[in-house]
Amino acid sequence: MPTGAALAFQLDHARARDAVNAVFEPDGLAEAIGREVIVVRSQAADREEYLRRPNLGRRLHPDDGAMLPTDGCDLAIVIADGLSAAAVHGHAASLALAIIGRLEGWRIGPVIATQQARVAIGDPVGEIMKAELVCVLIGERPGLSSPDSLGAYLTWQPRTGRKDSERNCVSNIRPPHGLSYDDAADTIVRLLKAARARQITGVALKDGEDLIGGGEQ
C-alpha cells in the first residue's frame, strides 16, 4: 500500500473517530434557529456507557422530563448527538430552519437538544410534550469518508415503546456530498404532512404511496 494512500485511510478513520467521540455543544443553537432550545440528557452518563448500553441512550434522564413543556404541539423537533456530534454541529440548525420554514400554521414547540441520545429518545420527549409528531435530527454512524452525516426520523404519536418500523427516515443529509438542506426538508415535510393526513408513520406510510419520489435513495 503506497504511503499516501495508507495515510489518507488513517485520516478518514481519525475523522470518523473524532466525530464519534466529539461532545455535542448545544450553545448557539437557539440563536441559529431563532427559537427557545431546551437541553435534556439521556440516561447514559458518558460516551462509553452510551456505546455499551444502547437502551440508556433511548431513555430520558428522570430529572429532565420536568423541563419540557406539556401544553401540546403539532410537531416536536429533537436534535440528538447520536453517533456524530460533528453532523449535528454542521447541519442540525440549518435543517431545522428549513423544516420550520416550510410548516406555516403548525404549532411547533421549543427545540429539544439531547446529549448521549439515540433515535428513540424522541418517544418519551414527544410523549411528555403531547406532540402529535416528533422529528429527531440525529448524527448517523460515521462511515469512513462520511463523518458528518445527519439523519431525520419521524414518528407519529411518539410514546415509549414505539418500534423502528413505526418511523420514517431520511438519511445521508450532509451537503455538499449528500442530501442538501432544501431537498431533505422537502422530503421531510412531505412525509410529515402525509403522516398527519393518514395519522401514521412507518412502513405503512411508504407502502402504496410514492411520497419519497427521487428525494431519497
- Residues at the contact surface with another protein, assessed by CB under 8 A: 1, 5, 9-10, 12-13, 16-17, 19-20, 51-54, 83, 141-145, 147, 217
Closest separation in Å from C-beta 66 to another protein: 29
Q: 144 vs 203, which CB is nearer to another protein?
A: 144
Q: 9 vs 31, which CB is nearer to another protein?
A: 9
Q: 25 vs 48, which CB is nearer to another protein?
A: 48
Closest separation in Å from C-beta 91 to another protein: 18
With 0-12 / 13-18 / 19 or more C-beta atoms within 10 angstroms meaning exposed / middle / buried, residue 53 is middle
Closest separation in Å from C-beta 140 to another protein: 9
Closest separation in Å from C-beta 152 to another protein: 18
Cell numbers describing residue 160:
415509549
Closest separation in Å from C-beta 117 to another protein: 14
Across the beta sheet with 167-173, the strand order is 37-41, 111-115, 73-80, 131-139, 150-156, 167-173
Q: 33 vs 173, which CB is nearer to another protein?
A: 173
Q: 102 vs 206, which CB is nearer to another protein?
A: 206
| Rounded Cα distance, 214 and 204, in Å | 19
Residue 170's alpha-carbon distances to 151, 155, 187, in angstroms, are 6, 12, 8
The owner of cell 469518508 is: 145
- Closest by alpha carbon to 179, among 138, 216, 141, 211? 216
| Rounded Cα distance, 67 and 127, in Å | 13
| Rounded Cα distance, 12 and 38, in Å | 33
Closest separation in Å from C-beta 202 to another protein: 18
Judged by DSSP in three states, 87 sits in helix
Q: 96 vs 119, which CB is nearer to another protein?
A: 119
